[in-house]
Structure 1
């Protein structure tokens, strides 16, 4: 079963890892950041080794995005960001796991200071949500 782990954050300025650029992330010590980095690296090593990690990407500043919309008369192009909220999509991971429970075990570890993680089943072409 494939799932997408969506990382939402509001880093200021925009940067990765987002925990270094959020208010909550700036409030914790360098030692805590180092430990979080160690734990995250261990998680990535684990899911890479098990074949559960399919792909991952950090995303650029939403202010640099372009939006393409279809209208009844034309296609409209505008500058981003799309969302009217402070939190924006900062990156994503695609995992392929045996169960929803395993996806939950992995996704919870992606939540960091100043971020929110969304776990969503991938939808197969022509099929239902998993």
Structure 2
């Protein structure tokens, strides 16, 4: 079963890993930040070793996004991001796991303070 793990965040300034640029993450004790980073590295290694990690990519600053919309019978390019929101889409990971339970187990390791993680199955 394929799933996309989408990371939503709003670091200021924009940067990756997003947690390094979030006040909520920076406010944690150093040992806790180090453990969260180690947990994340560990889950990526585990996914890779099991062949479950198909890919992923961090995304650039939403301020540099462009939107293509249909307007007055023509396509029009406008500056992004799509919406004025607190969180923006920051990156994704594509995984192929045996079950939804495994996908949820993995996705739990991707979120940190100040971030939201969305787990969504890939359409066949």
TM norm structure 1: 0.91
Alignment of 1:87-98 (within 5 A): 87-98=87-98
Deviation at residue 83 of structure 1 after TM alignment: 2.2
Mind listing any 5+ residue stretches in structure 2 that lack a counterpart? none
Map 1:2-17 to 2 at 5 A.
2-17=2-17
RMSD: 1.0
Within 1, Cα distance between the matches of 2:23 and 2:87?
A: 13
* 2:108 aligned residue: 108
- The one-character-per-residue Cα deviations of 1:34-59 (angstroms, maximum 9, x if unpaired) are 22111111111000000110001000
Correspondence list, 1:62-77, <5 A: 62-77=62-77
Whole-Å Cα distance in 1 between the matches of residues 60 and 31 of structure 2?
Answer: 27
Aligned length in residues? 124
Could you list the structure 1 runs, at least 4 aligned residues long, displaced by more than 4 angstroms after superposition. none
**Where does the alignment leave 5 or more consecutive residues of structure 1 unmatched?**
125-130
Cα distance between partner residues in 1 of 2:13 and 2:26:
12
Q: How does 1:1-130 map to 2 (within 5 A)?
A: 1-124=1-124
